[in-house]
Homo-oligomer: A and B are copies of this chain.
Amino acid sequence: MTKEKINGKSHGKYWKLEPIMHPKSVAIIGASNNPDKVGHVIMQNYIDAGYDGKIYPVNISSDGSIMGFKSYKSVTEIKLGIDLAVIAIPAQAVPGVLEECGKAGTKGVIIVSGGFAEVGETKLQDMIAEIANRYTMPVIGPNCLGVMDPRSRIDTLFLPTFKIDKPTIGGVSFASQSGAVGSSILDMIDDEGFGMARFISYGNAAVVDETDILNYLAEDIDTKVIVLYMEGVKRGKEFIEVAKRASLKKPIVVIKGGVTEAGAGAAHSHTAALAGSYEAYEAVFRQYGFTIAKDIKDLLNYAKIFETQPLTTGNRVAIITNGGGTGVLATDALYKNGLVLPELSETSKKELRKVMPPIVNIRMPLDMAGDADDTRFSAALARMEEDPNVDAVMAIALFQTPGADSRVAASLIHYGTQMKKPLVVVSMGGSYTQAHKRMIESSGVPVYASPGEAADALAALISYSRYLKVKGVRGKGD
Contact = CB atoms under 8 A, between A and B. Distances in A.
Interface of A: 114-115, 118-119, 158-160, 162-165, 176-184, 186-188, 190-191, 229, 231, 255, 257-263, 265-267, 269-271, 294-297, 321-329, 331-336, 340-341, 359, 361, 363-365, 367, 369-370, 398-402, 404, 428-433, 449-453
B229 A341 contact: no
A255 B328 CA distance: 11
Given A269-B367, A335-B260, A370-B180, A159 B402 contact: yes
Contacts of A266: 324, 327-328, 331, 364-365, 367
Copies in the complex: 2
Contact of A323 (B184, B271, B432): B184
Contact of A187 (B158, B400, B402): B400
A183 B262 contact: no
A297 B135 CA distance: 52
A164 B400 contact: yes
Contacts of A401: 159, 163, 180, 183
Given A180-B324, A324-B270, A119 B329 contact: no
Contacts of A177: 325
A184 B328 CA distance: 14
A227 to B, nearest CB: 13
A114 B429 contact: no
A294 B453 CA distance: 11
Q: Kindly name the residue among A177, A260, A328, A336 whose own CB sees the greatest number of chain B CB atoms within 10 A.
A: A328
A163 B432 contact: yes
Nearest to A433: B187
B332 A184 contact: no
21 contacts: A159-B402, A163-B399, A176-B325, A179-B324, A180-B321, A180-B326, A181-B323, A181-B329, A187-B433, A191-B431, A257-B328, A257-B329, A262-B334, A263-B331, A269-B361, A270-B327, A270-B328, A270-B367, A296-B326, A296-B450, A296-B451
A295 B452 contact: yes
Given A164-B400, A269-B361, A296-B451, A259 B332 contact: yes
Contacts of A334: 262
Given A163-B400, A400-B187, A433-B187, A180 B260 contact: no
A450 B159 contact: no
Given A177-B325, A263-B329, A325-B229, A398 B119 contact: no
Nearest to A428: B184
A310 B453 CA distance: 30
B429 A187 contact: yes
Nearest to A275: B328
Contact of A165 (B158, B296, B404, B430): B430
B164 A326 contact: no
